Structure 1
Amino acid sequence: MSAQGGHVVAATVDAVAVADTVVLTRRSLRHVTRSPDTIITTAVLPIAFLLLFVFVFGGAIDLGPGGGPYVDYLLPGILVITIAQSVSYASYRLFQDLQGGIVERLQSMPIARSSVLAAHVVTSLAATLVSLVLVVALALAIGFRTGAGVPAWLAVAGLLVLLTLSLTWLAILAGVSARSVDGASAFAYPLILLPFLSSAFVPTASMPAPVRWFADHQPVTSIVDTVRALFAQEPVGSEIWVAVAWCVGLLVLFWALAVRVYRRRLA
């Protein structure tokens, strides 16, 4: 086959994979829209944390001179928790499809193998974005303010999308590896707790030395600090590249592991 012919075949295969992903994504989104309580449920925990820390604990937390309203400091960490909570449903939905034999039936049809996982990823991204919008809307209602312009908001959105994709692929890995419903969603608990060992709720300078070292060198801190700086219209420096590197590195790692386990399970 000529090189030109090979490119045509590859383009055709890619087009088929995209078309199959679109069809399966519509199926997944229909399931979500038929049970909107799913999105509401994913937003309940971060909203509870937001209200609890702002109105109960916020007055006791000292951010130092010029710290500003606590809700402004808190929101980036709550957004990370929202993503961690939301992506757990991708693992649950994929596990249900695998256990119900739906994935096997789909694989017996002339569709691209990659489209099954891709559809779950796109659905997770869409549902998570809705949850993030709900949380930001509540934060604005209780006093969150930012003078950030469109470029800063786009940078925040891009970073949160990258984080959502990386954690969604972790959810996919959990879904294809799990042997029970509880196992499919249990991976999210450490993700939700991780922001508590970061700069999400208090400055790391107030932490004991070993805890501070861990907080300063784990991905949530760089992501939260970058989002906070963008909202505050402050220089982000190299922190944004550290955050992007964490997100991209985790995305590639979890994607490779998820695809490998998925292929092995269906082999």
Structure 2
Amino acid sequence: MPDATASPLTTATVLVGRGLLLSRRNLDAVISALVLPVMLMLVFVYFFGGAIDTGDTRYVTYVVPGVIVLCAGFGAAATAVTVSDDMQRGTVDRLRTLDVGAVPFLTGHVVAAVARNLLATGLVLGVALLIGFRPAATAGGWLAAAGLLLAYITAVSWLSAAAGLVTRSPEAAGAVTFLMMFLPYPSSAFVPIDTMPGWLHGFAEHQPVTPLIESLRGLLLDRPVGDAPWTALAWCAGLLLLAVAASGTLFRLRTR
């Protein structure tokens, strides 16, 4: 536990270490977050890939950016569960006696989620290379893709932390974050949007993950991306600001 006289930065650092330690102890959740996206990628590539027309792009190459974004949703869901568990077990009450605020407490959970997501992303990319994914990104493209992905992971992890403050049980927290795990499906992650029913096009084209996936796909394949990266960053910034503001308010309401 952090010291009551410690600075906010020191307190946040201690709680980040605690969040990483909790991840190590909760190996079943970590393994699920690592293995499930890889299994889904293999299912899409080998079960459905032959029936999906992606033009001159091999399906494995087309689908990998979507699976990477799907990874972020799985990793973020675990954040809601751990935050809700801390609220339920009274851990937050003990932290409040040490004058620990919302930002240091939630930062520990968010940083742990980012670390889990980066590990899962590395695993997905490694398996993707083994089954035929061949990126053509430049050094700048890799950096830009990594930056966009980090921004998205941070934003959805904060949203998930806010969801953990709203719910009254870890089970309910996991259910609330289903939307973040579902969003890549009605997007360009797994099939081209023009193959979907017409009534779904508007949502699929203008939801948060579509510009992110299109940006990652273009950057990793060294193709034009237009203004998609800026749209993706705008979504990430808006979601992050909303999540941080909501988290502060919810934390005060739950701990007063």
The letter for the 2-side match of 1:57 is: F
Q: Displacement, 1:34?
A: 3.0
Q: How does 1:215-254 map to 2 (within 5 A)?
A: 215-254=204-243
Say yes or no: does 1:21 pair with 2:4.
Answer: no
2:248 to 238, 251, 259: 259
Say yes or no: does 1:118 pair with 2:112.
Answer: no
Q: How does 1:1-267 map to 2 (within 5 A)?
A: 16-64=7-55, 66=56, 68-267=57-256
Q: 1:177 to 1:18 in 2, by over 3 A?
A: same
Q: Structure 1 stretches of 5 or more lacking a match?
A: 1-14
In the TM superposition, what whole-angstrom CA distance separates every residue of 1:57-80 from its partner, at most 9, and x where no partner exists?
A: 00011112x2x2111100111111
Match for residue 3 of structure 2?
A: none
Please say which structure displays the higher CA radius of gyration. 1
TM-score (norm 1): 0.90
Deviates more, 1:257-266 or 1:109-118: 109-118
| Secondary structure of the corresponding residue to residue 195 of structure 1 | coil
Q: Displacement, 1:104?
A: 0.8
RMSD: 1.4
Q: Displacement, 1:45?
A: 2.2
Between the aligned partners of 1:163 and 1:202, the Cα distance in structure 2 is 21
Q: Displacement, 1:22?
A: 0.7
The letter for the 1-side match of 2:10 is: A
The runs of 4+ residues in structure 1 deviating greater than 4 Å are 110-113
Residues paired across the two proteins, number: 251
Q: 1:61 to 1:17 in 2, by over 3 A?
A: same
Q: Structure 2 stretches of 5 or more lacking a match?
A: 1-5
Conservation of the 8 A alpha-carbon contact between 1:16 and 1:112: no
TM-score (norm 2): 0.94
The letter for the 1-side match of 2:234 is: A
